[in-house]
Amino acid sequence: MQPLSGPKSMRTPLGRVRNLGASHTGTKDFWRQRVTAVAMILLIVPMVVVMMILLGRNQAGAAQILGSPPIAIIMLLFVVASIWHMKIGMQVIIEDYVHDEKTKLASIMANNFFSVTLALAAAYAIFKLSSGV
């Protein structure tokens, strides 16, 4: 008969030592996605206000408003938070539903490349508008 030593754990000994789950990053991704969601909630109100201010303006008026530094900062923060949130969400979906390792790796690389490209393009557009060029 075995001694009563408490409930059996499904974790490996290395997993218990490191205190990590099966994928080793699940908790970090979970919290990062929640933090970016809260950031987007806080930034959506100023973004809606900016969009309402832009209603009915011509291109020159819109460029003038979007070129102001506070508006550019709000837009840049919103873009960064939303793209980061999107990247994490897509990575979780890829990791959960793509089972072939090569396809999974290629998909994660494509997700990272797409996210960085989108963020750089948006940041370039915002900086170009805010610099008046």
- CATH code assigned at 92: 1.20.1300.10
Report, as an integer, the average pLDDT of 114-130.
Answer: 95
- Whether 3 maps to a domain, the answer reads no
**Angle formed by the axes of helices 26-54 and 69-97, nearest 10°:** 140
d(CA 80, CA 109): 19
pLDDT in the model for residue 51 = 93
Any domain includes 6 = no
Report yes or no on 103 lying in a domain: yes
Domain region containing 74: 25-131
Quick one: how far is CA 27 from the chain centroid?
15
What mean pLDDT do residues 103-118 have?
97
In a domain, 12, yes or no: no
pLDDT tens-digit readout, 38-86: 999 999 999 999 999 999 999 889 889 988 999 999 999 999 999 999 9
Residue whose C-alpha is closest to residue 85's, from 27, 23, 130, 38: 38
Structural domain contains residue 10: no
Return the pLDDT at 27: 82
